[in-house]
Amino acid sequence: MTRVGFYPGSFDPVTNGHVDIITRGACLFDELVLGVGVHHGKTPFIPVDQRVDLLNSIIGPISAATGVKIRVETFDDLAVDAATRIGAVAILRGLRDTRDFDYEVQMGQMNAQMQPKVETVFLSASPQTRMIASSLVKQIARMGGDVSSFLPPESLKIVTNAVKNQS
């Protein structure tokens, strides 16, 4: 049986925190699917096609290093429904602090009620990425701050362009 994990998120933008969870999470599954959430009522900072392309460029080396198949898909429904549709045994979530813990445990319990066969697996953020939140990265970037230590190089280029295009 292939153990498929599902890591959902907006990835808007892709941060070093996301890369940390993807890298460590890949070791837990035979296949890892990154689910880029598409919310039609929201205007994204980075268009969904760019986020998908960015993730595809980042996952190649991770997949090669871990030997785990990693792919990217978009979804516009509940994460637990997307996980079920792709045959995932677990939803992967990263935790930075107690606020994340409280929210994610509640979400995991709700998902378990809706789909008991899909577990939720939590990974605590590595110390070097614990403070990174994409909302803060966007705010710092929009205000002209240096976000290079929070983003992979591929993402930094896209964030820099997004800020220029929104000015």
| Of 42, 71, 85, 117, catalytic | 42
In the DSSP assignment, the letter for residue 167 is: -
The tokens for 22 are 């993807």
Please give the sequence-ordered ranges of beta strands (E in DSSP) within 17-163, or none if there are none.
Answer: 31-37, 69-75, 90-95, 119-124
The DSSP code sequence of 68-100 is: -EEEEEEE-S-HHHHHHHHT-SEEEEEE-SHHH
| Of 18, 51, 93, 138, catalytic | 18
Report the C-alpha gap between 18 and 53 in whole angstroms: 15
Is 134 a catalytic site residue? yes
Give the residue from 5, 21, 10, 29 showing the smallest Cα distance to 130: 21
Is 18 a catalytic site residue? yes
Is 96 a catalytic site residue? yes
Is 142 a catalytic site residue? no
The residue to which tokens 């290093």 are assigned: 65
Report the C-alpha gap between 121 and 158 in whole angstroms: 30
Coil, strand or helix at 15: coil
| Of 96, 124, 126, 130, catalytic | 96
Q: Which residues are catalytic?
A: 18, 42, 96, 134
